[in-house]
């Protein structure tokens, strides 16, 4: 009996050990596969702002303190062999509002040595060039106060288009190319369940070329049936030079609508970032828009300054200031695009905003 008891006990112990090892092995394999298949990422960006609209406060009480969630987001992305995907959603953590599901860059596609092909929702190459050039993305100093903006309607031509197909090549460190087509690119949901509106479309392309310390970029897009410019095209040229602790940038934009004069104008910009000590940098940016075609006193400018501190490898703190100056017949906002709470103004207004913010990426 004792021998039988010992034998049975050993068999049971062996089976338990096998089960535990099998479980650990399966868990390890699943974690490894999940690492390729699924990455969870995001950014929480909140600021406390003090803004002056220079004239709107009497009617809407928009001057003063504001807590703003600035393009905060959460996303899922991954790759399995040749298949790539991404689902990204904006989240508003300053109030109860939020966007539609997957309202940021979201797609499924295929990738290989030849590049990648994606279908879904994505920023146009024109928008991407402005994003990579700007120093104050999603803050009060975001470049969209001027770039892609009209003197009446503000930021309208920094689009994230729907129903898009995009080819991208970025396997060469010195070269990146994008080519995009979108049908019914501003789809508001009214065509849900039926064929996309083929009267509205967008064709765009962009190229980024990096050599030594300089990055040159160029983007073009052509619209049919845009909600503001109707039919027309636009292009941007940008250059960024990084030298030691300094980064210098310049950008030029030309919008040529076939009908709407408001957006028929040129815009220019320069910026500078200086990492003056470890974990701290200083940033300056200036943008100006010319008078629109066949108009007078419709130009405007925006200047932004700020200092950033890298609290750790995932967190930045910043203090920033921005101000816009408008000609008599223009009302470019001080803050427009990316930043959750915009700061609009009146004709000829000089709106401004001061902001203390935190960005945390995971």
Domain match, 64 and 96 both: yes
Domain match, 166 and 292 both: yes
Domain match, 3 and 60 both: no
Pick from 256, 329, 332, 258: which is nearest to 289 by CA?
332
**Arithmetic mean of pLDDT, 275-297:** 98
Domain match, 20 and 72 both: no
pLDDT digit string (tens) for 138-164?
A: 999 999 999 999 999 999 999 999 999
In the chain, the number of structural domains is 2
Confidence of residue 186 (pLDDT cuts 50, 70, 90): very high
Instruction: Give the span between the Cα atoms of 144 and 136, in whole angstroms.
Output: 10
Confidence of residue 56 (pLDDT cuts 50, 70, 90): confident
Domain match, 186 and 201 both: yes
Q: Identify which has the larger pLDDT, 33 or 204.
A: 204
Domain match, 27 and 49 both: no
- Residue 67, pLDDT > 90, answer yes
Domain that holds residue 214: 40-361
Domain match, 7 and 104 both: no
CB 203 within 8 A of CB 220: no
């Amino acid at each position: 009996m004792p021998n039988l008891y010992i034998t049975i006990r050993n068999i049971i112990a062996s089976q338990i050990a096998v089960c535990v090892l099998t479980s650990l092995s399966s868990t390890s394999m699943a974690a490894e596969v999940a690492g390729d298949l699924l990455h969870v990422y995001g950014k929480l960006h909140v600021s406390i702002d003090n803004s002056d609209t220079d004239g709107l406060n009497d009617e809407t009480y928009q001057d003063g303190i504001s807590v703003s969630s600035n393009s905060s987001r959460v996303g899922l992305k991954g790759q399995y062999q040749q298949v790539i995907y991404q689902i990204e959603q904006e989240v508003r953590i300053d109030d109860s509002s939020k966007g539609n599901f997957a309202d940021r860059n979201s797609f499924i596609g295929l990738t290989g040595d030849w590049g990648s092909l994606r279908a879904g929702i994505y920023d146009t190459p024109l928008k991407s060039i402005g994003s990579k050039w700007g120093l104050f993305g999603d803050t009060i100093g975001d470049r969209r106060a001027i770039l892609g903006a009209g003197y009446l309607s503000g930021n309208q031509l920094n689009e994230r288009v729907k129903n898009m197909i995009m080819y991208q090549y970025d396997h060469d460190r010195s070269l990146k190319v994008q080519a995009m087509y979108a049908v019914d690119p501003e789809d508001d949901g009214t065509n849900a369940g039926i064929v996309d509106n083929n009267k509205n479309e967008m064709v765009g392309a962009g190229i980024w070329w990096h050599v030594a310390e300089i990055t040159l970029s160029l983007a073009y897009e052509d619209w049919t049936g845009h909600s503001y410019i109707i039919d027309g095209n636009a292009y941007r040229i940008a250059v960024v030079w990084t030298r030691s602790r300094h980064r210098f940038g310049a950008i030029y934009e030309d919008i040529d609508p076939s009908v709407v004069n408001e957006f028929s104008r040129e815009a220019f910009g320069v910026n500078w970032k200086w990492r003056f000590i470890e974990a701290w940098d200083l940033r300056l940016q200036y943008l100006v828009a010319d008078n629109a075609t066949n108009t007078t006193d419709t130009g405007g400018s925006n200047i932004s300054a700020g200092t950033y501190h890298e609290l750790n490898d995932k967190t930045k703190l910043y203090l920033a200031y921005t101000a816009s100056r408008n000609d008599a017949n223009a009302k470019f906002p001080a803050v427009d695009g990316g930043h959750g709470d915009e700061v609009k103004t009146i004709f000829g207004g000089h709106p401004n905003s001061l902001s203390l913010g935190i960005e945390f990426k995971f």
